[in-house]
Chains A and B, each alone.
Chain A
């Protein structure tokens, strides 16, 4: 099986995906990266964003990851997500809502503001929206 490898996506709460895939595209902290079979061992942290996996038949599926780690071995990719959901389950309204709230908390300087938390929430919400947008574009095509 030269052109496929195993991919495991787990979050702290559950196993999200496990199976044979052709390619994994994830957003690492230093940029998006695509993993093909036989990749050199790699260890990277992930920032909030979509993880796309492509299957043998050309189908693909998206997952939303709110940060975590990815380990690449030549024959297996393991994604340890802080939390992950299938992108189809993403509730766009909830994402918008949380982005608005994060922005509000961001702007309200008088309130006792937890800056780091707010910016983390904002980044997560933006990443969720990005995942949805990607899904949407694909559907439109």
Chain B
């Protein structure tokens, strides 16, 4: 019966693990709802400011802001990589890092060097191992990240861009398609491209080529603060969207872990019953054999 006892202990431990994963699944499900609310709440702002910035990039201002001018030679490319702080969320982070490396490899082939800014501890540790130049990192953002927490890291990257150390800036995060699907996306922040907005209506195409805004108080001050605000809002949106993805991915990962544990328990119970039955049969045949001998 030694084998049977071993199997029983194993079943017990698997059941304990199953309890933990199913609890984590439920926690992730409730957090996902909150994270989704957070994501949806800030979406209108992010979308509208993207439209406004698309107009600015489309306009012919008398003052060309550094962010709107594409530099011909790209020597250094910056990535703001948004990851989760904790693991146990399936392939979410790995898929994201793969997308970053694929995009980065294309730049590297063109001779550009790479800078990384890691938001979330998983990205931090990944890029430490990978050996990229990590210029800024922030972790421990929690479930309800605040825009203030991100300003520092964003500022580091923007200053690098201002000083000409970076010629391109991308933000990489997981896009929340639905609960089952999260898609890593690499989006260009700087320099601004006119197709950044999502409404390329005909009316806008019909606009005369050389139009410009009236600026109040003046173009430089206004564009400076507006564009910084734009970058911050895009990064913030990336972070909250990634947060929703993280919870969704964790929920799915934990659900499949719970299901797998259930299958494992079923299999082991079958083995256990067989072993028990074999032991009983053996005992009976021993008794019968013994009785016949007497």
The answer to whether B215 touches A11 (Cβ under 8 A) is no
Secondary structure dominating the interface of A: strand
Task: List, in ascending order, chain B residues with CB within 8 A of A29's CB.
Answer: 216-217
Whether the Cβ atoms of B216 and A8 lie closer than 8 Å is no
Decide if B233 touches A12 in the complex (CB within 8 Å).
yes
* A56 shortest CB reach to chain B, Å: 22
| Interface-located stretch among B23-31, B42-50, B100-108, B179-187 | B42-50
A-B pair count, CB < 8 Å, reads 69
The count of residues in chain B whose C-beta lies closer than 8 Å to any C-beta of chain A is 26
Choose one: B41, B214, B216, B217; the contact of A14 (CB below 8 Å): B41
Q: Please state if B48 and A80 are interface contacts (CB–CB under 8 Å).
A: yes
* A interface footprint on B54-66 (CB within 8 Å = 1, 0 otherwise): 0110010000000
- Whether the pair B211, A41 counts as a contact (CB closer than 8 A) is yes
- CB closest residue in chain B, given A79: B48
User: When the two chains form their complex, are residues A13 and B42 in contact, meaning their CB atoms are under 8 A apart?
Assistant: yes
Cα of A12 to Cα of B232 in the assembled complex, Å: 11
Contact with A along B191-219 (1 / 0, CB 8 A): 00000000000010000000111111100
Given A71-B52, A80-B49 in contact, is the A41-B214 Cβ separation under 8 Å? yes
Select from chain A the residue with minimum beta-carbon distance to B53: A71
Q: A69-B52, A73-B55 are in contact. Are A41 and B42 (CB under 8 A)?
A: no
Question: Footprint of B on A, CB under 8 Å?
Answer: 8, 10-15, 28-30, 33, 40-45, 69, 71, 73, 75, 78, 80
